Structure 1
Amino acid sequence: MKALILITALGLAGCASVGSDFQRPHNDLGQQWRQAQDARFAASQDGAIEQRWWDSFGDATLSSLLQRAADANLDLLAAASRLEQSRAARGVAGAAQGPSLGANGSYGRARNSEQGLSDPSRNNGQAAYSLWQGNLDAAWELDLWGRVRREVEAADARVDVAVETQRGVLLAVLAETARDYIELRGAQQTLAITQQLLDIARHTLNLTRIRLREGAATQLDEAEAAAHVATIEARLPPLQQREARLGNALALLLALPPQSLQAELAADKDIPAVAMQVQLGVPSSLAERRPDIRRAEAQLHAATAAIGVAQGDFYPRITLSGSIGLQAMQLSDIGWDARRFAFGPGFSVPLFDGGRLRGNLQLREAQQQEAAIAYRQTVLAAWHEVEDALSGYQANARRQASLDEAVKQGRRALGSAELQYRQGGTDLLNVLHVQNTLLNNEAALVDSRATAALSLVQVYKALGGGWQAFSTNSQGSTP
């Protein structure tokens, strides 16, 4: 009966836990984005956004690069290793919830002093003796106050931190790969347009020299035309270097040697086109989607559980331990009659530690407050990041529309100039001037299209989309 009462009491005590249970923090995210009325954006009813947003660009090379980056990027593999470390640490913490069992054995030969302590061999120290023994030892700390449970809870939360960190790295790698690819295509198109401008400038210089010989131009005209050629020629090396640098940056993201992607990326391809409409979701869904917010929440969870661990250190620790084994002076005597055992409870209670436990509790409470503030800051920063990204996308879209019109009108002007030239109403220099203006506008349009695509990548990154299309595990990210 006494044993039943003791077991019941221990069971009831085992249901208690020091510290407070973690409550998910409230965030002040709204239900609608400020730009939601823009026709370029659409708010889904369930708050979801497009997970494989890179497919919306309609560029197979881009999609392939992102897939390979998710599989091979070294930062992602390092994040996966850190996740494995946190899972191993959780296993260590969880092991404290159960009993421990160990075995040991020994053999010794000894002789006691005739004038010393009693001789277990009963030879009064006049002869040496042997001692054979083997034991099974068991111990179990009863988690009556829930301290160990809080340690495991904190370890679980730290695993969540590592998971969200890995997802955050994946999101950053996807966005960086897309940015480098878009910038590369923009650099290639700008380089092609600059080469056309150079051809026109050289043609203009040749015509100016002919006119100079005929007396229809001055040396100033020739010098200005030659300076214009040199100015355009000076643009080429930085553009060529930028193209090579971006190609190598993509190779690094894919864990490849420099210039490994040179042949694949040399193809003349257009800048990826932006989607006609972007699914935004709702602001409140950011807390469920963005890895940095989820990571901050997991850190707050771990800090909250750590307070319970610190509180549990004030309570007694009760341990059940036992040992059973065999002991004999002759190996042939090892048997049931040589058995020995010992068992019983033990406890330890902190009485005085100079304020160490109190200081540790205050430290954990302050760390939990810091984690709560960090969570609020992360949510607020994410909100601002999305709003800025949406505003940037809108501004770039308006700029691109204006440049589209400028290029359209420039082509009309070039057509009129060419018609006048064929009819003898103007000279070739005027045609080349109009063509030069058109190409400059086309170069600005290329830059605008690249910037618009980059701003769309930033929108999706700010919304926290992309990592959901891959499963994060210990071996990296795979679809």
Structure 2
Amino acid sequence: MALLMTGCVAGPDYRVPDAAIANRPGATKALLGSRDEGVVQASLPPHWWHLYKDGRLDAFVAEALAANTDLRTADANLGRADALIREAETARTVTTDFNGQTTGSRIGGPTRFLPAPFSYALGMNISYPLDLAGGIRRAIEEANAQSEAAQAARDQVRVIVAATVTRNYARVCADGVALAAARHVVAVQRATLDVALRMANEGRGTRFDSERARTAAFASEAAIPDILADQKTALFALAAVMGRVPSDYPHALEACTIIPSLVLPLPVGDGAALLRRRPDIRKAERLFASATAGIGVAEADLYPKVSLGGSVGSTTSITHALTLSSFGLSVGPLVSWSFPNRVLARARIIQAGAESRAALGAFDGTVLLALKQTESALSAYRRTRERLEDLDRAANSAGKASSDAETLQRFGRTPFFDVLNAQANYAEAQTRLSSARIDLVDRQIDLFQVLGGGWE
């Protein structure tokens, strides 16, 4: 039986089924949104945040990848998974054990107070598993797949860390831009209020006009504390992801008024590259491989476990210790077989098969989720770009209208009410434009994140 089983391995050999979602043509072709303006089908470069060409951002991401607490946890989990591989590999190595004992006994009970005769036993056993059914080999495959899944999980954390740093960095700078715009609007409205007060004192204006101007200025000033609070929140979040305490946030960044922007179209690649790159897809595929190997581990319990072994030992009384006649030697195959427990083994095989099918379902679901997220992110990015272009034109028009209204009012050619309306429209347009700029960077980072960039 052992000879017949030589070379056989229990369980199915791993392969991704042809019917899997990842093998469908629609999953590997060009992404639907890659035809839009602002993106290109070129390969996503390593370390996508370098596309912003911002040395300070690069330094923050590097610091976070070195000190982030979630990454430290993921690294520890990966180290544990690697140790489990070494543990599984030890099952196919030579094992030895030593034993020794000494006993004193007297038959019939003590009759005199004399010492009982003592004997001893010393021995050494050596064995080497043949793994004829391949259970050890499948266990090693299972451990390797689990380790690769842990590595993919760590890569996923790297993706999230890089995206979180870039997002909060961009938000701090966008808040700086919004703060500058709000202060500019307040300055304009304060100047208008001064004009309204002077005109009221000179009898050329009304108290109603000056109070409306005062209200508009106060309303614009009221928006500034919220912007400062949002900026502080982003700074604290940036410090946390870099492994710093809140008081150690990058203070110099508070003066940033340049939002990171991409000069060239955003590279997105195609579906095949996405499936290779996304860490969560690689993790799901490796968990499926691990579950498949688990079937072989369970099936191996149906067959005998055979190992080659030998033992040498010495057993006799203390008075004849280590004489040549006290030594013994044995060599031969060692066989163990849990034949009465075949029902238990069959139940475990069924469980392993179910786990494999569940892992395949999770793998297919992860692929579909990745494709859906990417297409959705591409669509959102396109719409946000279009909205930003419209809002930019609207803000420029509102700025010109406000300036023209102020000029016309100085020459008495337009009512003061029109000036206030024009300034209010300009302030609102600036607020919407600042929000849209933040949204655009957020959509860019969303897209880079769903593309799986940043794990290299």
Q: State the TM-score, normalizing by the size of structure 2.
A: 0.89
Pair 1:431–1:227, CA change in 2 (3 A): closer
Q: 3-state SS of the aligned residue for 1:15?
A: coil
User: Does residue 68 of structure 1 match 2:56?
Assistant: no
Assess if the C-alpha contact under 8 Å between 1:132 and 1:331 holds in 2: no
User: Does residue 280 of structure 1 match 2:272?
Assistant: no
Q: 1:254 aligns with which of 230, 242, 264?
A: 242
Partner in structure 2 of residue 32 of structure 1: 30
User: Does residue 56 of structure 1 match 2:44?
Assistant: no
User: Does residue 170 of structure 1 match 2:158?
Assistant: yes
Assess if the C-alpha contact under 8 Å between 1:154 and 1:306 holds in 2: yes
Q: Using the alignment, how far apart are the partners of 2:427 and 2:259 within structure 1?
A: 17
Q: 2:183 aligns with which of 190, 195, 216?
A: 195
Deviation at 1:23, TM superposition (A): 0.5
Pair 1:410–1:234, CA change in 2 (3 A): closer
Q: 3-state SS of the aligned residue for 1:266?
A: helix
User: Does residue 111 of structure 1 match 2:109?
Assistant: no
Assess if the C-alpha contact under 8 Å between 1:204 and 1:429 holds in 2: no
Partner in structure 2 of residue 80 of structure 1: 75
Partner in structure 2 of residue 17 of structure 1: 9
Q: How is 1:67-216 mapped onto 2 (pairs within 5 angstroms)?
A: 67-106=62-101, 108=102, 110-114=104-108, 127-216=115-204
User: Does residue 42 of structure 1 match 2:30?
Assistant: no
Q: Using the alignment, how far apart are the partners of 2:177 and 2:247 within structure 1?
A: 19
Pair 1:128–1:183, CA change in 2 (3 A): same
Assess if the C-alpha contact under 8 Å between 1:274 and 1:456 holds in 2: no
Deviation at 1:410, TM superposition (A): 3.6
Q: Using the alignment, how far apart are the partners of 2:397 and 2:179 within structure 1?
A: 23
Cα deviations across residues 121-141 of structure 1 (Å, max 9, x unaligned)? Answer: xxx996423434432222233
Pair 1:408–1:224, CA change in 2 (3 A): closer
Q: Using the alignment, how far apart are the partners of 2:54 and 2:409 within structure 1?
A: 40
Deviation at 1:180, TM superposition (A): 1.2
Q: Using the alignment, how far apart are the partners of 2:38 and 2:256 within structure 1?
A: 29
Aligned length: 450
Counterpart AA for 1:160 = E
Assess if the C-alpha contact under 8 Å between 2:129 and 2:308 holds in 1: yes
Q: Using the alignment, how far apart are the partners of 1:411 and 1:276 within structure 2?
A: 28
Q: 3-state SS of the aligned residue for 2:97?
A: strand
Q: Using the alignment, how far apart are the partners of 2:89 and 2:55 within structure 1?
A: 46
Q: Using the alignment, how far apart are the partners of 1:415 and 1:223 within structure 2?
A: 21
Assess if the C-alpha contact under 8 Å between 1:247 and 1:259 holds in 2: no
Q: Using the alignment, how far apart are the partners of 2:193 and 2:411 within structure 1?
A: 23
Q: Using the alignment, how far apart are the partners of 1:188 and 1:442 within structure 2?
A: 13
User: Does residue 322 of structure 1 match 2:310?
Assistant: yes
Q: Using the alignment, how far apart are the partners of 1:362 and 1:275 within structure 2?
A: 56
Cα deviations across residues 13-38 of structure 1 (Å, max 9, x unaligned)? Answer: 34211111011244130411212332
Q: Using the alignment, how far apart are the partners of 2:141 and 2:319 within structure 1?
A: 49
Q: 3-state SS of the aligned residue for 1:457?
A: helix
Pair 1:55–1:207, CA change in 2 (3 A): same
Counterpart AA for 1:187 = D
Q: Using the alignment, how far apart are the partners of 1:335 and 1:419 within structure 2?
A: 120
Assess if the C-alpha contact under 8 Å between 1:131 and 1:330 holds in 2: yes
Assess if the C-alpha contact under 8 Å between 1:109 and 1:128 holds in 2: no
Q: Using the alignment, how far apart are the partners of 2:388 and 2:234 within structure 1?
A: 23
Q: Using the alignment, how far apart are the partners of 2:130 and 2:113 within structure 1?
A: 44
Assess if the C-alpha contact under 8 Å between 1:114 and 1:125 holds in 2: no
Assess if the C-alpha contact under 8 Å between 1:274 and 1:452 holds in 2: no
Structure with the higher helix share, 1 or 2: 2
Deviation at 1:311, TM superposition (A): 1.3
Q: Using the alignment, how far apart are the partners of 1:342 and 1:453 within structure 2?
A: 75
Q: 3-state SS of the aligned residue for 1:23?
A: coil
Deviation at 1:203, TM superposition (A): 3.7
Q: 3-state SS of the aligned residue for 1:153?
A: helix
Pair 1:414–1:233, CA change in 2 (3 A): closer
Q: 3-state SS of the aligned residue for 2:303?
A: coil
Structure 2: segments with no counterpart, 5+ residues? none
Assess if the C-alpha contact under 8 Å between 2:10 and 2:133 holds in 1: yes
Deviates more, 1:18-27 or 1:251-260: 18-27
Pair 1:354–1:224, CA change in 2 (3 A): farther
User: Does residue 465 of structure 1 match 2:453?
Assistant: yes
**% identical equivalent positions:** 27
Q: 3-state SS of the aligned residue for 1:35?
A: helix
Pair 1:115–1:263, CA change in 2 (3 A): closer
Deviation at 1:186, TM superposition (A): 1.4
Q: Using the alignment, how far apart are the partners of 1:112 and 1:335 within structure 2?
A: 23
Deviation at 1:215, TM superposition (A): 4.9
Assess if the C-alpha contact under 8 Å between 1:113 and 1:125 holds in 2: no
Pairwise CA RMSD: 2.9
Q: 3-state SS of the aligned residue for 2:292?
A: helix
Partner in structure 2 of residue 339 of structure 1: 327
Pair 1:109–1:376, CA change in 2 (3 A): closer
Deviates more, 1:72-81 or 1:171-180: 171-180
User: Does residue 409 of structure 1 match 2:403?
Assistant: no
Deviation at 1:426, TM superposition (A): 5.5
Q: State the TM-score, normalizing by the size of structure 1.
A: 0.85
Deviation at 1:326, TM superposition (A): 3.2
Q: Using the alignment, how far apart are the partners of 2:88 and 2:34 within structure 1?
A: 47
Counterpart AA for 1:51 = P
Counterpart AA for 1:186 = A
Deviation at 1:383, TM superposition (A): 0.4
Cα deviations across residues 185-226 of structure 1 (Å, max 9, x unaligned)? Answer: 112221222223333334444444444455555554454444
Assess if the C-alpha contact under 8 Å between 2:85 and 2:140 holds in 1: yes
Pair 1:354–1:334, CA change in 2 (3 A): closer
Assess if the C-alpha contact under 8 Å between 2:209 and 2:416 holds in 1: no
Pair 1:342–1:30, CA change in 2 (3 A): closer
Deviation at 1:72, TM superposition (A): 0.8
Cα deviations across residues 395-422 of structure 1 (Å, max 9, x unaligned)? Answer: 1111111122223334444554465467
Deviates more, 1:170-179 or 1:431-440: 431-440
Q: Using the alignment, how far apart are the partners of 2:382 and 2:35 within structure 1?
A: 12
Q: 3-state SS of the aligned residue for 2:260?
A: coil
